[in-house]
Amino acid sequence: MHDDMRTAIEAQVGHEFGAAHVYLSMSGFFDGQNLPGFAQWMRAQSEEEIEHAMKLFDFLVDRGVAPELPAIPKPPHTFASPVEAFAAAFEHECGVTRQIHALYEIALEHKDYSAQMMLQWFITEQLEEEKLTGGLLERLKMVEGSRSALLILDAELGARQGGEHPA
């Protein structure tokens, strides 16, 4: 594997673990706000990010690379409101999409066909991730100011289990 490809995928492993860290932090924030459904949704999202990181890690290992992992930045800890937390989550996902697209460019440049195949899964996944977080952000904006509507949404989100992708 070309060095550029390897180092870019290693960096992405860090970004995915970083995302898991961000969502776990958000889960704690929502628990502190007495919104256990949002907390559960964020916890499931965090678990999903760990799966993404491991998919990239395993790809490197399967290609004979001993991955050199980066440090994970400290995530944000408090948010002004649920809307602000989901706005941050949506922005985060848009950033990940750009990272995945940049990885794909490297795979194209170096004619790394197996990396292209692996990354196509992530390109599709990012469509879903943006739709999911962006959709919830818009719904949260709709219920802003209504505690009862927020609690209904909280109950709905609490149904999410790790690895699932419901709204």
Q: Does 49 bind ligand FEO (CB under 6 A)?
A: yes
Nearer to ligand FEO, 32 or 95 (CB): 95
Q: For ligand FEO, which is the closer residue by CB, 35 or 46? A: 46
CB 49 within 8 A of CB 23: yes
Do residues 32 and 2 touch, judged by C-beta distance below 8 A?
no
**Residue of minimal Cβ distance to ligand FEO:** 52
Closest C-alpha among 137, 59, 57 to residue 93: 137
* 38 exposure class (CB count in 10 Å sphere: 0-12, 13-18, 19+): buried
Residues that bind ligand FEO (rule: CB under 6 A) add up to a total of: 7
Let me know: does 70 contact 9? Beta carbons within 8 Å: no
- Which residue's CB is nearer to ligand FEO, number 16 or number 154? 16
Residue 90 as a binder of ligand FEO (CB under 6 A): the answer is no
> Which tokens sit at 21?
């860290």
Is 52 one of the binding residues for ligand FEO (CB under 6 A)? yes
Residue 42 in the binding site for ligand FEO (CB under 6 A): no
* 112 near ligand FEO (CB under 6 A): no
Q: Does 19 bind ligand FEO (CB under 6 A)?
A: yes
Q: Which of 32, 37, 55, 138 is nearest to 90 (CA)?
A: 138
**At closest approach, how far in Å is the CB of 46 from ligand FEO?**
10
Nearest approach in angstroms of CB 151 to ligand FEO is 26
Distance CA 18, CA 82 (A): 20
Binding interface with ligand FEO (CB under 6 A): 16, 19, 49, 52, 93, 96, 129
